[in-house]
Structure 1
Amino acid sequence: MSKKDGKIRFINYFSYGMNDFIGAGAFALTSAWLLYFYTTFCGLTPIEASSIFALARIVDAVASPTMGFITDNFHKTALGRRFGRRKFFLLAAIPLIIVYSAIWVSGFSYLYYVGTYIAFEIVYTMVLIPYDTLAAEMTSDFKIRAKLTSARMYIAQFSAFLAAFIPGRLINTLGKESPQSFLIAGGIFTVIFIIVLILVYTFTWERSLEEIEILEGRHSKEKLSFGQNVMKIYIDLVTTLKIRTFRAHLGMYIGGYLAQDTFNAVFTYFIVFALFKGAVVASNLLALMYIFQIAGVGIATYCTLRLSPGGAFRVVSLIFLASIAGYLIVYGTIPDSLAALYVVSALAGLGRGGINFVPWNNYTFVPDVDEIVSADRREGVFAGFMSLLRKASQALAVFLVGVILQEFNFKSGSTSQPPEALTAMAVILIAAPAILLIYGIISSYKFKVSHESHEVLKKEIARLKDGGLKEDVDAETRTTVEELTGLNYENVWGNNKVGYRNWRRYKENQKA
């Protein structure tokens, strides 16, 4: 909704969604092309190239939860009060995002690529964690949040399409031997990122300072030491896993996104080497896939509103599974058929677009479930956890692909590969995503948030905020809260060890 009159307009949806040019566009470009770029143009072995992603995750294990903690508390600083506890970091990232272009420069050493990639990942974290909190802070309405997520996912699929399409056109123009194609693509995206950050900063908003102070009024304002703040970051992070809805969400998220990360990491290799097609064909197939992902978002949005978030995830996962079976059929029977590859890739796009939508739509409701457990608003904590997990899953996928390819005798810089490397590419592309999607589907049955249950949850939180007694809860609300949280009703609203404040109070009571 607009800050002034309570309405969310097109410009708000559009600007909010545009940030996924950074979230999805940068991710798509790096997932589809960076490992290939490192091994083809930078002289790195598959293990050296994939280790860069793993090293970045070690840094991110500190950076993501720390950024989540900082954005939850930055309103206590002069800068936070002036520019916003979340949006200050979006503003600060505008000049820093230029580092994205630096990762696409060829001819440097391994240490250069480690340093530039880690630098970009820090800026990426600085953008994504504050951004991921905004939908939950801009509105509490179930349908409006779904529309915000839809806007985000439509932009995400379009940006991913450009990430696949642009390098292919540049390769076609400059030649497959030129690394300049990737540098130019990185520069184009960097300019887009700067424009996007300006739009997001200008046309979105976060929870007001007055509301934050009311929420903080529930708790003691005791100042914590540095050591206590460090402990708070990690206790807050770990105790998110005590929320049943969050665990179910993570199952779908890990299953769906890690399946795609594995698929992305090996897809270009599979098309170029296993099916003997060029990088331009790989680019065209990815571009088609991302076009159909836009339609996949529409399918997932419809299924979410008509069925349930869990049901929507099952529908789109089955579509993606069908496409994976299609790749297996093409590889085993008609590897020369471009038409078959295009059909299967279009089907993959429908499934992948929906898989991208469902977890991010579901995520916006997790802080609401957590609030009735912890009696606190911890959007930044959950955003930090999600960012860490998202990037860790990509790094794990890329690292394992790199290790497997090297173990099966992949030759960096070569235009042909031995049979065992080709078989490894096909197995990774088909078996790994299928197993992960099945895990996500199983988890989807445990995610119980719906429009109806969310309304019950909001009313109960409002009742407790107004001083209502827990013993006055009605049977339907009790059942709904217990189903969503995984806790007995008597143990919600701060009567537990979820979150640092509640954990510390519990420990002090144990000593008393």
Structure 2
Amino acid sequence: IIYIAIEIVIAMILIPWETLPTEMTNDYKLRTVLSGSRMFISATGTAIVFAVLAILKHMQNPNAYLITGIIWTIIFVVAIFVSYRNTWERPLTPEFIKELESRPQLTMSEMVRKMVSDYCSTFKNKAFRQHLCIYLLSFTGKDFYSTMLPTFIICCIQGSQQDWPWTLQALSAFGILSTLAAAKLMISHGPKFLYALSYTTILITMVGYVLVWALHISNPFLVLAIISVFYQLARGILEFTPWNVFPFVPDIDHMMTRGDRAGIYAAVMTFFRKSTGAVASWIAGILLAEIGFNSKTMLDAITTPSTIQTGIAIIFFVGPVVLIALALILSRSFKLNRQTHEILKNEISRLEQGGSKKDVSPEARLVTEELTGHPYETLWPDKRSL
């Protein structure tokens, strides 16, 4: 009951929070700075979590998870308060308030039907479909890595030190550095470059992890630490990029519907992320059971049979590699970047000022059709979508 209550409250916080860069500015560079700042803080938080756990595990503290939970709860509450006091929303114009008040009152069943219809309508947005697939594949691949890393390290590398996995995860502090670099690269090179850089690096590091096991490296921890540094640098970019792309997606929808629906897009992303968040753990658990792994295996990791070691290594490698490779392939055709967003924004501004759709430039027509996935004639409808 407590877990469900927390999930509901967090969803109520996440959905409006994710729309803030869109609400606070229309400028590509400023939105990138805002999103980069929040992802920098997120990367710092991730590093703190694993660092505290690694220290407490190393000290063999029986209350390691409880203490970490208390620390994180305090940080969480402070972060929400700071965000609440220092952010703003797009000002409500008299015209928009009048429109809101004129909307018909819906019954509960009508509201549910409209909500489902609104959620489904987001998939008409081509750029959003691509973005969501890239996001879910890459983040689920990252989840698979995090789920399987302790099992792989302890059972395959035979790290008798139970704090090894947490120590390696604590190297996520390096993700802070890559997040700072990614903010600059997002402006100068765009998301496609960041996707390629991050995913390619992760694929190489996954090969490195398996080679440490296969080659029986004599000093595995040092080598694993070096590999993990590169993985965490890439992970920082992996987490940074989708949430820096997201603030620009509602502008594409605005071209399609003339509505302001950033919250609906944030809700869809949050819903699917929560739905897939446990998929990696669930699939990993099923695959581990199929190769004969059970709870006793971790307790006696030194004597893990070679067949189970091989199975664990294959699961640890194949899961993230397949998902990240698919994300890399999809990212190659992703068109939303600083240049295309600027063209889109200028076209929206022209139409808002009374410009005719007949006067669209060939470049604006091409870009808007590529981003939306619809013929230009069907865009910017006469009536705003509610």
TM over 0.5: yes
Question: Does the alignment pair 1:150 with 2:32?
Answer: no
Number of the residue aligned with 1:48: none
Q: Which of 307, 312, 331 is the matching residue for 1:444?
A: 331
In structure 2, how many angstroms separate the alpha carbons of the residues matched to 1:396 and 1:125? 19
Query: Where do 1:369-408 residues align within 5 Å?
Result: 369-408=252-291
Looking at structure 2, the residues matched to 482 and 241 of structure 1 have their Cα atoms a distance apart, in angstroms, of 15
Corresponding position of 2:135:
253
Q: Distance in 2 between matches of 1:128 and 1:359?
A: 15
The change in CA–CA distance for 1:256 and 1:495 in structure 2 (over 3 A counts) is farther
Contact 1:274 1:425 in 2 (8 A): yes
SS in 2 for 1:209: coil
CA deviation after TM superposition for structure 1 residue 220, in Å: 6.2
Give the equivalent residue in structure 2 for 1:422: 309
- CA distance in 1 between counterparts of 2:312 and 2:2 reads 28
How far the C-alpha of 1:140 sits from its partner, in A, is 0.8
User: Which consecutive segments of 4 or more residues in structure 1 shift more than 6 A?
Assistant: none
> Where do residues 462-501 of structure 1 align in structure 2 (5 Å cutoff)?
462-494=349-381, 501=386
Q: Check 1:326–1:134 CA distance in 2 against 1; reply closer, same or farther (3 A cut).
A: same
* Matched letter for residue 349 of structure 2: A
Contact 1:323 1:344 in 2 (8 A): yes
Deviations 1:241-294 (A, max 9, x none): 111111121122122211101111111222222222233111111111x12212
How far 1:219 sits from its partner (Å)?
11
- The answer to whether the 8 A contact 1:165-1:287 is kept is yes
Q: Which of 204, 221, 226 is matched with 1:322 structurally?
A: 204
Question: Secondary structure, in 3 states, of the residue corresponding to 2:145?
Answer: helix
Question: How far is 1:164 from its partner?
Answer: 0.9
Kept in 2: contact 1:270–1:425 (CA 8 A): yes
Alignment partner for residue 244 of structure 1, among 126, 143, 153?
Answer: 126
Counterparts of 1:224-303 in structure 2, within 5 Å, are 224-277=106-159, 278-288=161-171, 290-303=172-185
| Aligned equivalent of 1:160 | 46
Change (3 A) 1:249 1:464: same
- Counterpart of 2:342, as a letter, is E
* Residue pair 1:262, 1:394 contacting (<8 A) in 2 also: no
C-alpha contact (below 8 Å) 1:275/1:331 kept by paired residues? yes
Partners in 1 of 2:7 and 2:284 — Cα distance?
A: 20
Q: What is residue 80 of structure 1 aligned with on the other side?
A: none
Whole-Å Cα distance in 1 between the matches of residues 101 and 205 of structure 2?
51
Letter of the structure 1 residue corresponding to residue 284 of structure 2: V
Q: Distance in 2 between matches of 1:492 and 1:421?
A: 56
- Structure 2 unpaired stretches of 5+: none
Alignment CA distance shift 1:425-1:118 (3 Å): farther
**Alpha-carbon distance change, 427 to 299 in structure 1, aligned in 2, over 3 angstroms:** farther
Match status 1:189 vs 2:75:
no
TM-score (norm 2): 0.92
Cα distance in 2, alignment partners of residues 470 and 219 from structure 1: 29
Q: Which has the higher contact order (CA 8 A, sep 6+)?
A: 2
Question: What 5-or-longer segments of structure 1 have no aligned partner?
Answer: 1-114, 502-512
Please give the secondary structure, in 1, of the residue aligned with 2:320: helix
Deviates more, 1:382-391 or 1:334-343: 334-343
Q: What TM-score does the superposition give when structure 1 sets the normalisation length?
A: 0.70
Asked if structure 2 preserves the Cα contact closer than 8 Å seen for 1:275 and 1:335, the reply is no
